[in-house]
Each structure stands twice: as structure tokens, then as C-alpha cells.
Chain A
Amino acid sequence: MMALYLYPLLHSSIISFKDKNGNWNGLLNYLQLFSDSMFWISLKNTVFFTIVSVIFHLIIGLGLALLLNLKLRPLVMNFFRGVLMVPWLLATIVAAGIWVLIYHPVGILNYFFISLHLISVPISWLGNPKIALLSVILVNVWKFYPLYMIMVLAGLKAIPIELYEAAKVDGAKPYQSFLHITLPHLRSVIIFMTLLDTIWTFRHFDLVYVMTGGGPMYKTELLTNYIYDVSFRNLQFNYGSTITIFMLIVSLIFSVFYLRLYHEGE
């Protein structure tokens, strides 16, 4: 297994310093990054994609976990938890297929908004440069919030119930016990999940690949999709490796924080 990861690591690092003909060209590929506008566009998209997705994963996951944690019978809780996890189970390609149909110009989403008189003309959700990225983000949020939900739920279940009872005896209002008991206990789960989720979302590929192919006008092109295009469409493997090394370094910076937390936990 070491070989399966080390070989790619070494291989990519080496060829990222070479030109198309296999000659060493030092840092030239890395310098090219700075002048490559497509690289900056996809970096900007990726950062936006990651931040917005992670924030919504957190809000929705936290909200639903809190709802599920209120006094429910175990059977009912299990039912709702099971149903709410389903988006996470779907293959990304299946989720993409469903949403491409929902986003269809004469699909149900447009019909819904038109019948509410919120819009008058159908919106091309995946074709409009201004909202295409947001549309993809919505699918990402829908698909990946469940991870947060169950992690936070597990964290909530681990809080001793006596704490709440003690707070109640002391006359604390519900929101006060939320602020002073629930949130501090969830702090580490939330930080842990946010870091992990940031790393995962940062390297996401499938949704854009299937739903928009990076368009319209590169507004949804993420770094991973750009790497794919550079390497497999334009066959510039060396430059593709350069961008991957850049991504890896960014991921590793996040990982340092993650690992530090992990070891604190141990």
C-alpha cells in the first residue's frame, strides 16, 4: 500500500519539474502557475465552492442533529436518521443525474419558482454563468451534509444528561444550556469535521465533471477539473502534476491542523 501511494507521490513530484519532452526545466512549470489565468479562475471557484459548501454542511448538519436529538422515541429517531442519511448513500453520479433533471429549464424547480411568482422566466440553473456554481454547490450541500449530521448527533449523545438537569435546576433557560453546555461539548467534533470536510470538499471532482463539465465560461471549473482537463484533454501531464502538487501542499497545510487535533484527541 505504501508503494501505491509513494510511487505516485514521487512520480508526480519529479515530472512536475520537467517539460513536455522530459527535460528538466526547474521551476518553470511552477512559475507558469502565476501567469495562468485559468489556474487562478479555478482556484477562486474552488475556494468559493469549498467555503460555501462547508458552511452550509455545518449549518444544516448541526440543525438537523439538534432536531433529531430532542426527545424522540428510538424507533422514530432511527427512522428519520436513516431517511436523512440517504443522500449520502447515493453515488455522486446518481445525485448528479437527479439534479440535472430537477434543474432542467422546464423541470420542477423552475415550475416551482414560477408558480410562486418568484421568477417570471425559467432560469437555466446550470447554464447561467452567475448561478451555475451555486447550483452545483446546492447539490454538494444536499449530498454531503449527512456526515456532519451523524457526527454531531454522536457528539450530542455523548453529553451527559445530568448536565442539562443540573442547569434546569439552576434555572437556566434552554438557549442558555445550549450556549453553555451543548456548544462547548460539540466544539471539538465541529472543528474536527470542519477540517476534514474542508479537505474533502477542496478535492471534490465528480459533481462538476458530470453536471457542467466546468462550464458555462469556466464558472464552475474547480482545480481538480482543471487538472483533469490539463492532463487528460490537453495531455500536458507535467503541468497537470505541477497543479496537483500545489493542491497537495494546500491540503497538507490543512492536514497539519487536523493531525494536531487528532493527536490531542489521543
Chain B
Amino acid sequence: MDSLGFQKRKVFHFVIYYFLLIVATLIIFMPILWMISVSLRPNKEVLLTPPAWIPQTFTIEAYRSVLINPSNIRSFLNSLIVSLSVTGLSIILASLASYGFSRFRFRGKTACSFFILVTQMIPPIFLLLPYFIMMSRLGLYDTYLALIITFTSFTLPFCTLMLRSYFDTVPREIDEAALIDGCSWWQALIRVILPINIPAIIATGAFAFILAWTELLFAVALTQSKGMRLFTVALSVYIGEYSMRWNELMAFSVLACIPLVIGWVFLQKYIIEGMTAGAIKY
């Protein structure tokens, strides 16, 4: 009798628990479902009362009108070019910097790593004006290069911190062995350290990509021409317009999420590992 009661209680707990989890997930996911649902209907159905969760007229018209506009396509391409460059650059520079921090002793090392931490505290708005002036003086205003340099300067500190904590876990003996076998430091990094840390590098790259892909403020401030717009800027123009084309706006948003969501599905494990690696230390 007692064991039966125990069983019952266990089932009861199980049900309550799943119920809570599913309800919480639904509530949190609702806005995203609404976005997808709105993107698949004609604009006159968006603000119906009562609202329908399933579109009455199912149409991909909104996607078509977003994709038919060459400046939207251009903004996606721009975002892709900038984000991929930032990702590549961040991985290369962060690997070098973390390797230096992890393996060498040099003057001012503590000061440098302190400085990297401090950069995390600076409000981005603080950098807006100086970067604007700097890029204008260098003649880089309204170019890819301005965006790439700026975004990389945001991603680099965090990427370096992240990679360094991984490199620190690799025993020194491993690269010492490589050095004895006649590798240079440079080769030891490329042939030994990096291959061991592929998951960490994926996490770092993903992090840089997410940051670059979603950045808005600097993309607004450092570009001017329509041809240089990133998709975030193009979206903010959509939102700002007086006559709202909600279905197109949502279709645009869904399209903008696709690269991140695909990456997320495949790389979730690495990204979470990379982000939490620092936290578990405590």
C-alpha cells in the first residue's frame, strides 16, 4: 500500500513537472510562434479581432515581397559578409592572443588581461562618437571595413577570455613535446593546440557571429548609403515606417532568424559549453 502511494506520488510529481515545463515553454515561445504565424498571412488579417492563431488565408506573399526587393537581399548579403569576416577575424586574433596569454610570460601581462576585462564594462554608446570620428578621418565611413573593425573590437575581448580558459586546460607538456620535436611556437599553435580545441573555436566563432549579426547601433551610425545597410538597419527602417506592413516585417524577421537558428540547432552543445566554461570555475 505504501509503495503504491509512493508510486502515485511519483507519477503526480512527474505530471506536475512536465506541465510546468511545457506551459513555461509555450508562454515564452508564444511571441515567436506569433511572428511565424503573422508572416504567413495577408496584412489585412494581422490585426483581426478576435485574432486567429492559424492564418485564415495561408500565403507566402509576405516572403515574396521581402525577397523581391533587391535592397533587402543586399542587406542580407551585407550582414553575411560582415558577420563572416568578423567571425574569421575574431577566431584568428583571439587564438593568437589567448595563446600568448596562456603560454608566455611577458611584461604587463596582468595589466593587459585586466584591460580586456575592463573593456567588457564600457557602455558601447561610449565608443560610438569616437569610432564615428575615427572612421570618418580614416576615410572608412560607410564601408564594410568600418563595420568589420568595429564589430571585431567588440567580439575580441570576450572571445579571447573564452578561448584562453580553454587553452589553460591543455597541459603545457603537450606543446612542449611539439617544440622538442622541432615545431616553432607558431606550428605548435596551429598543429597541436588548435586541433585539440576545435569545440572551443566553434563556440568562439558562433559567439562572434551572433554578436555581429544582431548589432544595430553601430550599423546605423557607421553607414549611410542604402547599399551598405545591414539587415538590422533595414528592419529598423521597416519598423519606423508609418504605414505598417506587419506581415512583411515578420517575414523579414523570420528570414533574419534562419541562419542563427540553423547554427543553433547544430552547434548548441558547443556554444553552451563555451559560454558556461567560465562560470563553472566558481
Interface residues on B, range: 35 or more
CB-nearest residue of chain A relative to B233? A93
CB-nearest residue of chain A relative to B132? A232
Question: What is the interface of chain A mostly: helix, strand, loop, or mixed?
Answer: helix
Answer whether A85 and B239 are a contact pair too, CB < 8 Å, given A151-B279, A193-B279, A240-B129.
Answer: no
Interface: A52 (CB within 8 A): no
Check if A255 sits within 8 Å of B121, measured CB to CB.
yes
Check if B149 sits within 8 Å of A4, measured CB to CB.
yes
* Contact mask for chain A residues 72-93; partner B; CB cutoff 8 A; 1 contact, 0 none: 0000001011111111011111
Partner of A210, one of B51, B118, B239: B239
Which residues does chain B contribute within 8 Å of A192, judged by CB atoms?
279, 282
| Residues of chain B at the chain A interface (Cβ within 8 Å) | 17, 20-21, 24-25, 28-29, 31-32, 34-35, 38, 46-47, 49-51, 93, 114-115, 117-131, 133-134, 149, 153, 156-157, 210, 213-214, 216-217, 221, 232, 235-236, 238-239, 246, 249-250, 253, 256-257, 260-261, 264-265, 268-269, 272, 275-276, 279-282
Complexed CA–CA distance, A232 and B149 (Å): 22
Q: Smallest CB–CB gap between A53 and chain B, Å? A: 16
Check if B24 sits within 8 Å of A64, measured CB to CB.
yes
* A-side interface residues, number (CB < 8 Å): 83
Complexed CA–CA distance, A154 and B282 (Å): 11
Check if B117 sits within 8 Å of A262, measured CB to CB.
yes
Check if B25 sits within 8 Å of A107, measured CB to CB.
no
Interface: A67 (CB within 8 A): yes
Check if B125 sits within 8 Å of A205, measured CB to CB.
yes
Check if B268 sits within 8 Å of A224, measured CB to CB.
no
Check if A150 sits within 8 Å of B276, measured CB to CB.
yes
The list of the 4 closest CB pairs from A to B, nearest first, reads A8-B130, A154-B276, A203-B123, A91-B214
* Contact mask for chain A residues 195-229; partner B; CB cutoff 8 A; 1 contact, 0 none: 00001001101100110000000000000100110
Can you show 30 pairs from A to B with CB atoms below 8 A apart? A1-B153, A4-B153, A8-B134, A11-B133, A63-B24, A80-B21, A82-B265, A82-B268, A86-B29, A87-B28, A87-B31, A89-B257, A89-B264, A91-B214, A93-B236, A97-B35, A97-B250, A107-B51, A115-B50, A142-B31, A150-B276, A151-B276, A206-B216, A206-B217, A240-B129, A248-B121, A251-B121, A252-B118, A265-B281, A265-B282
